Amino acid sequence: MADFNAMQEALVQCDQDKLEGLVNGAIADGTPAIDILNQGLIAGMDIVGEKMENGDMFIPEVLMAAQAMGGCVAVLKPLLGEDESAEGASVIIGTVKGDLHDIGKNLVSMMMESAGLVVYNLGVDISPEEFVRQIKEKNASIVCLSALLTTTMPMMKQTVDAIVEAGLKDQVKIMIGGAPVTQAFADEIGADGFAADAGSASKLAKAMVA
């Protein structure tokens, strides 16, 4: 039986060895990878976020927690399921300019790869001009923008505007996501879709290229 509380605690304590031990133990016990991700790691990261907000955890510790989570996500990656139904279509994904959060965006990238999409993960702090350049270069069918800060959400609008101005709106579907982002915001800025989590992002992308 997986101990999700212990995983959350190890993440909050930034204890990567303990966390990896718990994750590997849960895998060996047959716990589904998606449950480990959602109930152990993402739930633990939510506690880290609360502690960060209350001043009980500081940036260096949050970075260590993020690193510990990243190590475990790599362990879970091959177990999150392969489904090649969307094989071939290409997707550009990146975190918008000014924003350095990448864990959620990397999960979305991973789930889309598992669905058979060809994903170009540009990284973080990506300018509207770079998104436009990459859409042209990779002949992308979908572009995914991630933002975790309310202060960088306007950069999503600037990126959508740059894609429209470059005349690429007919070629590429624009999807957005990240903790503060909503469907209403997607509608407001002219994005084609919003996804609240990595699983629904992958489903929506598959539907868009179907």
Q: Could you count the other beta carbons within 10 Å of the beta carbon of residue 207?
A: 11
Q: Does 202 bind ligand B1M (CB under 6 A)?
A: no
Residue 178, sorted as left (phi over 0), alpha (psi -120 to 50) or beta, turns out to be left
Q: Does 63 bind ligand B1M (CB under 6 A)?
A: yes
6, 34, 103, 162: which one contacts ligand B1M (CB under 6 A)? 103
Q: Does 157 bind ligand B1M (CB under 6 A)?
A: no
CA distance linking residue 123 with residue 132, whole number of Å: 15
Q: Does 100 bind ligand B1M (CB under 6 A)?
A: yes
With respect to ligand B1M, which residue has the nearer C-beta, 40 or 178?
Answer: 178
Amino acid at 123: G
Q: Which long-range contacts (CB under 8 A, 24 or more apart) does 43-47 make?
A: 43/4, 43/8, 44/7, 44/8, 44/9, 44/10, 44/11, 44/12, 44/69, 45/11, 45/69, 45/103, 47/8, 47/11, 47/12
Q: Does 146 bind ligand B1M (CB under 6 A)?
A: yes
Q: Does 156 bind ligand B1M (CB under 6 A)?
A: no
Residue position matching structure tokens 């204890």: 15
Q: Does 107 bind ligand B1M (CB under 6 A)?
A: yes
144, 155, 189, 209: which one contacts ligand B1M (CB under 6 A)? 144
| 3-state SS track over 30-57 | CCCHHHHHHHHHHHHHHHHHHHHHCCCC
10, 89, 108, 117: which one contacts ligand B1M (CB under 6 A)? 108
Q: Does 177 bind ligand B1M (CB under 6 A)?
A: yes
6, 66, 166, 168: which one contacts ligand B1M (CB under 6 A)? 66
Q: Which residues in this chain contact ligand B1M in the complex, by CB under 6 A?
A: 42, 45-46, 48-49, 52-53, 59, 62-63, 66, 98-105, 107-108, 144, 146, 148-151, 175-180, 195, 197-198, 201
